[in-house]
Structure 1
Amino acid sequence: MNMRIIPYFVFFLCFAACTGTPQKEPLTLWYHEPAHNWDEALPVGNGRAGAMVFGGVEKEQLQLNENTLYSGEPSVVFKDVKITPEMFDRVTGLMKAGKYTAASDLVCKNWLGRLHQYYQPFGDLHIQNNKHGDAGQYKRTLNISDAIATTAYEQNGIRYEREVFASHPDDVIVIHLKSETSKGIDISLDFTSPHPTAVQKGEDDRLILHGQAPGYVERRTFEQLEQWGDQYKHPELYDAKGNRKFNKRILYGDEIDGKGMFFEAQLKPVLPKDGKCEITDSGIHVYNTGEVYFLLSMATSFNGFDKSPSREGIDPAAKAADILDKALAYDYPTLKQRHTEDYRSLFDRVNLELVSSPGQKAMPTDTRLERFAQTADPDLAALLFQFGRYLMISGSRPGGQPLNLQGMWNKDTIPAWNCGYTININTEMNYWPAELTNLSECQEPLFRMIRELAVSGAETAQNMYGRRGWVAHHNTSIWRESLPNDNVPTASFWPMVQGWLCSHLWEHYQFTQDTDFLKNEAYPLMKGAAEFFADWLIDDGNGHLVTPVGVSPENTFITEDGQQAAMSMGPTMDMAIIRETFTRTLATAEMFDLDEPLRAELKDKLERLLPYQVGKRGQLQEWMYDFKEREPQHRHFSHLYGFHPSDQITPDKTPELFNAVRKTLELRGDLASGWSMGWKINCWARLLDGNHAYKIIANLFNPVGFGNSEHKGGGLFRNMLCAHPPFQIDGNFGYTAGVTEILLQSHAGYIHLLPALPDVWAEGTVSGLKARGNFEVAMNWKEGKLTDANIHSLAGKSCTLRAGQPFTIKQNGKVVATSTPIRSNGKEYHQATFQSDTHLSNSYKLTLLFD
């Protein structure tokens, strides 16, 4: 053999082997320009700490957050609200007499507390490029396959690259810079913070930012508080006579008796031996090097929802130093490897591929977004689906705090809606995709919040209401406020959240089949929610049990005599949540043979609950009576709770109500704020109408903040974060959940494959989605028809499958079942059931073949 051709032959074999198993292209958001503002910056996070990365050349900015940094502390939580029996009778008497406005006035004056405290920005890290010259070949990316933000450019003929990632295993943000030449880097770094208490100092080998968050923040104006007569609720701002003590509503340090959470960031540079570094109180100067990386740790004095961070807090300096010192045990390649392996262990569970043209995929993300309305771009729709999963993994990991209105990314000291937990839908919507898209463990922070909220909620149930169990209302923060807060009649008095939150516990069991979790963690919370509801219900005078006072968040109605009000007896959403809570609590108690007296009580009251009603327009009725909506196309459609996210209304079990839901959505219309569109996608998917669901998707892909006056309303910013506007992250999560509902449903007692596929997604593949019963599903389809599917049972349960075309089920190469046609709500489907032999295995795999 001619020895000169051996290297070529070896290369050919290697090339052939590599091409036989091609690597998937990473999923990326990318742009030709740096971010011009916060709504264009790219988010990174590790479930506790996060940053918005701007990608500048002359000056880079990382806006920083740590998800325990809130204003206030337990001592500023307002608790002085009590419903006396006399006042309760007055309000319910007015309700029964149809005097809704008068009843609402009494509730607002006597039954409401004040706003909860505020999620706070941490600060900003600035990186000044001391090299001068025009930059070219610029590209800014967020690789969501690896969770790494990259900025690359050429300056003075030299190539530069900057990587930023937030590591969960090492709990640090890592910034890596390199140039093509050995001395190409000359940068200066410094911290700033919106908090006037923050001080920067250089100390030994690191730069430190230390400060204290506000001890009290209020976003309502003095004029609003005084108009409501609420001065007594705000002793921080008013004296005993109701006179203002300050001319501002953000209080720090001595203004608030030293209250407020302490915080600290530490930044450590790591250079090659020949690199130069100077650290002073003004910042860090790094030069004479071709590579450097920085480790950034952040910590606060938060020590639990019930402990004062200023008096009983942990030392943020010691915590930040400990985090940093542990991370320093690894070099940059190892830090990056540990980060990507950890992240991919979650992200790679699900793959979704939808087909777009090569030309579309070659465009920058913002260009694709601008052109979405003119030309369908299914691959971009799949990218936004995975971006939602990226945000979930980045923002909600075990040990951290739950995702708030902006996940964990916030720049404002008085953010929109407090940037806390709005729990009349927004917080719950954040977690809709968790189980569906195989990210079950990301719900741990939510479950911990529910446990903590039940502690304060039990106090509120007893002290405010004199009732059993636990209760919370439509807003809370890290301090787990459970009173009704603020003075907004359409939202503030809503003692229903415990039921909705408990549904997440039940769904976790449904998807995981974890009976220990159901019995020991979920059931005590479900029981407390059911007990409160059982005590809260009253007789409506016609033999039905209803809630005595409630709202349909956040809508208002008009009565026949011209009253405009929000509060009434027995709104449909109230009854749906109570029906669900009683049903699931009963099922769990019976499963484990617990609390027989409570079971008897719940069975009796469940049968007497006010049923669903269909209004004169064929719609699902929103209130106890068929009132006219003041805003017919309101962004909330809370009365559809029993349809989605609950499972009470389905085409098989309740066809009349199912059709009434469709009429309701038609009347509501297709335009909405960003998060509301996320909800509508889910609902149209459950109505099995994929093309209408896609119509809402197309509306959501509305470019916001692009400088084009034609683009108004809700949609997406350049960075693909959802615009209410302003930014609310729940729209991203609602969208990801909605895409899953388009592809797979399991709420109605069977696994429905491609139940609502839109025509524009005629070809695709998906794997890793989860169905109730702990099933994992993979599917391929072409020309709008399934070609094959694989079902992996992880719990050995029997499996009922439904699809829009005939199929056979194979196990171990043998046909074990063949589908039969069925009809549901006027449509034909095909269905088969596979009964597993649990004596042989607690898991099994099935292959479905389609004609």
Structure 2
Amino acid sequence: MLLSIWAGCGFAVAQKPSHTLWYDKPAAAWHEALPLGNGYMGAMVFGDPQKEHLQLNEGTLYSGDPTGTYKSVNVRKDFKRVSELLAAGQYAEAQALIASQWLGRNHQLYQPMGDLWFEAAPANTPISDYKRQLDLETATATTTYRVGNTTYTRTYFASYPDHAIVVKMSASGPGKINGKFYVSTPHTPTARYQAQGQTLTMQGKVPGLALRRSFEQVEKLGDQYKYPEVYDKTGGRKPGAQNFLYDKQIDGLGMAFETRVRVLHTGGQISQERDAITVRDASEVTLLVSAATSFNGFDKSPASEGLDPKPILDKRFNALAKKTYADLYRTHLSDYQNLFSRVELELAAETEQSKLPTDQRVALFANGKDPAFTALYFHYGRYLMIAGSRPGGQPLNLQGIWNDLMTPPWNGAYTININAQMNYWPAELTNLSECQEPFFQAIKELAVNGRETARNVYGNDGWVAHHNTDIWRHAEPIDNCNCSFWPMAAGWLTSHFWERYLFTGDKTFLKNEVFPLLKGAVQFYQGWLVPNAQGYLVTPVGHSPEQNFLYDGQKQGTFSPGPTMDMAIIRESFSRYVEACELLGISDDFTALVKQSLAKLLPYQIGKYGQLQEWQLDFEDADVQHRHFSHLYAIHPSNQINAQTTPELTAAARRVMERRGDGATGWSMGWKVNVWARLYEGDHALKLLTNLFKLITTEQAHMSGGGTYPNLFCAHPPFQIDGNFGATAGIAEMLVQSHAGEIHLLPALPQAWHTGRVKGLKTRGGLVVDMTWKAGKLTKAVIHANQGGTFRIRTSDRLTMTPAANVSNVASPNPLLRFVDAGTPLIKDKTKLGETPTVPGFTMEVKLEKGKVYEIR
């Protein structure tokens, strides 16, 4: 085990392979750099001794304006004709009408802010002993190397409490720090730089319009009328039309930003050189970096109603001036570890392969000689959530908080037909509940716009959201892709609020936060449903993201009534609404109507291959191995299908997974890990993790051959961070599950994880679980009961539960305990679908007192 002492701080921090990413060379590309974040700002650290580079982001920095959307979509106008075409099986004709009349315009882009550079004076002897690393226990990156007899150390961290990124450079030996600091931004039309005293300042604006589509694409779609900024009323391009329009090019629109870097030094001297600060012969240099924008809310123009970044930064740097580096580090460490240290994980023993550089560990993982690597990936996922999503900031988008591209993949948006939700799957499970607050705030803001969209576009009550949104919380369908028309997101987004209630039992939260959003989603769905020929209620127009079906031979269709995912989300929303009304004592005509509709919803169906049907009709898949398998929403992330209560449907879900196969894009493999875990197939879930841990060294490939970049970012490819979070949640699901009416310990433990321990995982019902296991069997579990009540707990063997020993706040003697079952199949008959799933293990029923601690041995 290595031991590092942070110079000037006095903190000793143990470095462990399960908590440390490290490399023996600088980052040569963005997806090799190491991410830092404080929930507001992100930085990618390259670690080049000669030309250090920190690529910088600020979480609110999006192009556009709240008004930059297209609100004239009118579903009611062509609703009857689309319904008639679908009923007649004329799917292509219906699709063409939807594409031309029911889609809007592309939304705005998450923008890079800029770059911080340090050009070191040329080294007079070769650089040796190079190492860069990211310590996940402390959220601290370091770069070390030697030049002659001098050791150079760079330490980097991002502080949430102090709203700053801090870099410390030190030289130990005869050599000194010599070089030039400067900043740059890709937003050159508006960029202004200044070096004054000890401070570098960069000011600019991002585009008031950023158009991801090419003009040729827009014109081919006939969408010119949706972009009056660049097209005239005849559909011709306006003079000066460009994909990026800045400031005066677009009536002063665009979000302003200011980045400030303060350079502090020990020994030597600094001077200003045009837009740079030069340091000579310093033994130590500390950089304080912060930024602010004119963002003033999702519904206010940052140009005309925006905040002034300058006084914000003045106040922030005045506070920073009163603190030493040690103060800043201590505050950062306390804040970060309050979250990160809640959970610990060890999987199998570390091996010689575990000691290799991280990129080599990824490349070799498939050989099975480093099972402990999965623990590093799990810890990294929790690190990314803490770094990227904190109260007061913005939620994680498709790139988290890190992006270096003017036109990032899929706009750096919030894709809400799975991806944004997947980002937050680990939040409650892995004890990072607070990190979901930005997501909750964004959903509430989206619901505001979504009510207007439901009324104007559909003539419905409640609120609606489609498959994509951005910082302006636009709720209309976007352009170009058939997947854009998908008015189902509200229920899925609201389910995250419901899950928070299940994990906490907080009825005030249920009443004030969950219920209004849930009712709004249910109101929209109630107005959207129609009866089919058999009298079941179905959605009149839907699709299964982002898959097509085959009809009339080899014709491909997207839209049809009542696809399974639509019905799963609506069934979940209706049943939870009815339950919420019972819990809150609400009984009215609308509640009665929802109960009636719930009983009439189209049931789940099993198709000709024994699979859970993806559509109301048993269509063939256009791509049987498609990356989306949205009809399995009911088994994950929902709890409607499980082996305990619906074994036949569980078997049908398993058949879907077998047909989909084990190859996929990166984020899709993360989802598959979760589904196989819920099927109690630990070895199969590990197989998907193994496929995900395939080293990808280029970002040129697109939507195929998913894997992992050298810095452990998920490769869709390109980079898409939801795969990191999906896999993190999947690892937790392999260890603890609580969705099916019981707490199941080690439900999907693969053979390779035969020995290990975990601390701090959360369950529904308000329990926190610590476990150790050996030879694949649970040896001890400690249950912290944050809520009281009667629980069913399933274990891998017939173990017993007692008050915890050596704990001051233990339970009263002899808690209620009785064994319920011994892992037999829940139904005895074998069906034509194959074997009925067996729920492994033994279940005990126990009564737990709130605030007490229990042991299972």
Query: TM tier, shorter chain?
Result: over 0.9
- 2:668–2:723 contact (8 Å) kept in structure 1: yes
Question: Which range moves more in the overlay, 827-836 or 629-638?
Answer: 827-836
For 1:607 and 1:795, the matched residues in 2 are separated by: 32
What is aligned with 1:96?
Answer: 87
Matched, 1:823 2:824: yes
> RMSD over aligned Cα, in angstroms?
1.7
- 2:665–2:716 contact (8 Å) kept in structure 1: yes
Secondary structure (helix, strand or coil) at the match of 1:693 reads helix
TM superposition shift of 1:431: 0.1
Matched, 1:212 2:202: no
The equivalent position to 1:650 in structure 2, one of 642, 647, 655, is: 642
What is aligned with 2:810?
Answer: none
Matches within 5 A, 1:603-618: 603-618=595-610
For 2:428 and 2:251, the matched residues in 1 are separated by: 44
For 2:661 and 2:208, the matched residues in 1 are separated by: 43
Question: Which range moves more in the overlay, 826-835 or 41-50?
Answer: 826-835
For 1:381 and 1:822, the matched residues in 2 are separated by: 28
Matches within 5 A, 1:122-271: 122-133=113-124, 134-181=126-173, 184-196=176-188, 197-245=190-238, 246=240, 248-271=242-265
Secondary structure (helix, strand or coil) at the match of 2:372 reads helix
Q: Any gaps of 5 or more consecutive residues in structure 2?
A: 1-11, 806-812, 826-836
Residues paired across the two proteins, number: 821
Secondary structure (helix, strand or coil) at the match of 2:824 reads strand
- 2:353–2:369 contact (8 Å) kept in structure 1: no
For 1:22 and 1:318, the matched residues in 2 are separated by: 37
- Write out per-residue CA displacement over residues 350-393 of structure 1, whole angstroms, 9 at most, x where no aligned residue: 00011244412221111111111123312111000010000000
1:563/1:846 CA distance change after superposition, 3 Å = same
For 2:698 and 2:197, the matched residues in 1 are separated by: 45
What is aligned with 2:789?
Answer: 797
Question: Which range moves more in the overlay, 373-382 or 578-587?
Answer: 373-382
Secondary structure (helix, strand or coil) at the match of 2:848 reads coil
1:454/1:357 CA distance change after superposition, 3 Å = closer
**What is the TM-score when the length of structure 1 is the normalising length?**
0.94
For 2:843 and 2:704, the matched residues in 1 are separated by: 44
Identity score, percent:
49
- Write out per-residue CA displacement over residues 665-687 of structure 1, whole angstroms, 9 at most, x where no aligned residue: 00000000000000000000000
TM superposition shift of 1:534: 0.3
For 2:359 and 2:179, the matched residues in 1 are separated by: 30
The equivalent position to 1:460 in structure 2, one of 453, 472, 475, is: 453
* Counterpart residue identity of residue 91, structure 1: V
1:405/1:505 CA distance change after superposition, 3 Å = same
The equivalent position to 1:28 in structure 2, one of 17, 20, 24, is: 20
What is aligned with 2:830?
Answer: none
Secondary structure (helix, strand or coil) at the match of 1:732 reads helix
TM superposition shift of 1:317: 1.7
Question: Which range moves more in the overlay, 137-146 or 323-332?
Answer: 323-332
TM superposition shift of 1:707: 11
Question: Which range moves more in the overlay, 506-515 or 737-746?
Answer: 506-515
Secondary structure (helix, strand or coil) at the match of 2:271 reads strand
- Write out per-residue CA displacement over residues 109-160 of structure 1, whole angstroms, 9 at most, x where no aligned residue: 1111011101000000001111423210000000111001100000132100
For 2:625 and 2:13, the matched residues in 1 are separated by: 49
Secondary structure (helix, strand or coil) at the match of 1:378 reads coil
1:827/1:312 CA distance change after superposition, 3 Å = closer
For 1:106 and 1:732, the matched residues in 2 are separated by: 38
For 2:699 and 2:418, the matched residues in 1 are separated by: 31
TM superposition shift of 1:828: 4.9
* Counterpart residue identity of residue 296, structure 1: V
- 2:198–2:277 contact (8 Å) kept in structure 1: no
Matched, 1:688 2:689: no
- 2:149–2:174 contact (8 Å) kept in structure 1: no
For 1:666 and 1:562, the matched residues in 2 are separated by: 23
What is aligned with 2:537?
Answer: 545
TM superposition shift of 1:83: 2.2
The equivalent position to 1:75 in structure 2, one of 60, 67, 76, is: 67
Secondary structure (helix, strand or coil) at the match of 2:116 reads strand
* Counterpart residue identity of residue 692, structure 2: L
The equivalent position to 2:594 in structure 1, one of 602, 620, 628, is: 602
For 1:676 and 1:767, the matched residues in 2 are separated by: 27
1:789/1:22 CA distance change after superposition, 3 Å = farther
What is aligned with 2:463?
Answer: 470
The equivalent position to 1:401 in structure 2, one of 391, 394, 401, is: 394
What is aligned with 2:345?
Answer: 352
Matches within 5 A, 1:246-645: 246=240, 248-272=242-266, 274-489=267-482, 491-560=483-552, 562-594=554-586, 596-645=588-637
Secondary structure (helix, strand or coil) at the match of 2:366 reads coil
TM superposition shift of 1:563: 3.1
Secondary structure (helix, strand or coil) at the match of 1:75 reads coil
* Counterpart residue identity of residue 115, structure 2: D
For 1:167 and 1:435, the matched residues in 2 are separated by: 23
What is aligned with 1:14?
Answer: none
- 1:704–1:712 contact (8 Å) kept in structure 2: no
For 2:553 and 2:682, the matched residues in 1 are separated by: 41
What is aligned with 1:735?
Answer: 727
1:314/1:334 CA distance change after superposition, 3 Å = same
Secondary structure (helix, strand or coil) at the match of 1:115 reads coil
For 1:362 and 1:105, the matched residues in 2 are separated by: 56
For 1:444 and 1:812, the matched residues in 2 are separated by: 33
Q: Any gaps of 5 or more consecutive residues in structure 1?
A: 1-20
Secondary structure (helix, strand or coil) at the match of 1:807 reads coil
Matches within 5 A, 1:802-813: 802-812=794-804
Secondary structure (helix, strand or coil) at the match of 2:332 reads helix
* Counterpart residue identity of residue 730, structure 2: G
What is aligned with 1:4?
Answer: none
- 1:376–1:760 contact (8 Å) kept in structure 2: no
* Counterpart residue identity of residue 559, structure 1: Y
For 1:484 and 1:310, the matched residues in 2 are separated by: 25
* Counterpart residue identity of residue 56, structure 1: D
Matched, 1:846 2:827: no
* Counterpart residue identity of residue 401, structure 2: M
**What is the TM-score when the length of structure 2 is the normalising length?**
0.94
1:561/1:844 CA distance change after superposition, 3 Å = same
